[in-house]
């Protein structure tokens, strides 16, 4: 079965909107390798429409220009790209198609396709939320930037059911960015202060 891994640039206060306005000062080789782990290694990519439009508006041109990011741009172009949208779309970027039918049913079928390749995601917040709620997302890669943006959409909305996660790996970059990888987890057992106080430091 295929695995879905979603990567997200996120601020210390949980903002994921418009990372192009605040995250580039923290981009280094370490972050480039982390991004490559979710996008460069994927043979299929799943996008929300806005994120797809952003990628399609930039990467084909970068591939054509042949600059230092052209190999990465080519890898994105060669990958199968599936776009989630309620509107009928037309594509000019190669290997692009629209997800048909119900999101949960279609992604479940996509994961069951033959092979064990990686389905990568970048941004696409609304899609990530839905896949987390449906327990279809296998890994959530959060690049936590040491900045409080203090405005914009956050990854998790208020008022929705909690989503328990477990930490798979963590890494601290030289810039202070934390590379945190999470996977779904069972709901934690009920506990309160009486359970927690036994772990407090004991003082004489």
Give pLDDT tens digits for 132-150: 999 999 999 999 999 999 9
Predicted local distance difference test score (pLDDT) of residue 204: 67
Q: Which residues are within 8 A (CB) of 86 and not within 5 positions of it... i.e. 6 or more apart?
A: none
CA distances from 102 to 84, 106, 109, 149 (A): 10, 6, 11, 34
Global pTM? Answer: 0.92
Least confident of 7-11, 101-105, 114-118, 145-149: 114-118
pLDDT digits (tens, 9 = 90+) for 66-112: 999 999 999 999 999 999 999 999 999 999 999 999 999 999 999 99
- Longest Cα–Cα distance in the chain: 72
Looking at per-residue confidence, does 161 or 173 come out higher?
173
Q: What average pLDDT is seen over the chain?
A: 94
Q: Using only the alpha carbons of the chain, give its radius of gyration.
A: 19
Predicted local distance difference test score (pLDDT) of residue 40: 81
Residue spans per domain, the chain = 3-187
Q: Could you give the CA distance from residue 64 to residue 39 in angstroms, rounded to a whole number? A: 19
Percentage of the chain exceeding pLDDT 90: 83
Topology (CATH) of 3-187: Dihydrofolate Reductase, subunit A (3.40.430)
Predicted local distance difference test score (pLDDT) of residue 127: 96
Percentage of the chain exceeding pLDDT 70: 100
CA distances from 122 to 8, 39, 50 (A): 6, 7, 11
């Amino acid at each position: 079965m295929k695995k879905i891994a979603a990567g997200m640039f996120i601020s210390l206060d949980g903002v994921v909107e418009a990372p192009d306005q605040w995250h580039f000062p923290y981009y280094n080789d370490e972050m480039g390798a982390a991004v490559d782990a979710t996008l460069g290694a994927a043979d299929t990519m799943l996008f929300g429409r806005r994120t797809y439009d952003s990628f399609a508006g930039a990467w084909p041109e970068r591939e054509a220009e042949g600059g230092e990011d052209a190999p990465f741009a080519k890898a994105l172009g060669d990958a199968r790209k599936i776009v989630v949208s309620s509107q009928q779309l037309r594509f000019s970027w190669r290997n692009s198609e629209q997800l048909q039918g119900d999101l949960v049913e279609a992604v479940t079928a996509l994961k069951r396709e033959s092979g064990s390749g990686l389905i990568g995601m970048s941004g696409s917040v609304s899609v990530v939320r839905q896949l987390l709620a449906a327990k279809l997302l296998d890994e959530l890669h959060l690049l936590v930037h040491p900045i409080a943006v203090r405005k914009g959409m956050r990854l998790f909305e208020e008022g929705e059911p909690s989503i328990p996660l477990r930490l798979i790996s963590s890494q601290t970059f030289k810039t202070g960015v934390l590379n945190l990888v999470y996977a779904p987890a069972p709901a934690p057992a009920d506990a309160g202060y009486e359970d927690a106080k036994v772990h407090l430091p004991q003082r004489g």
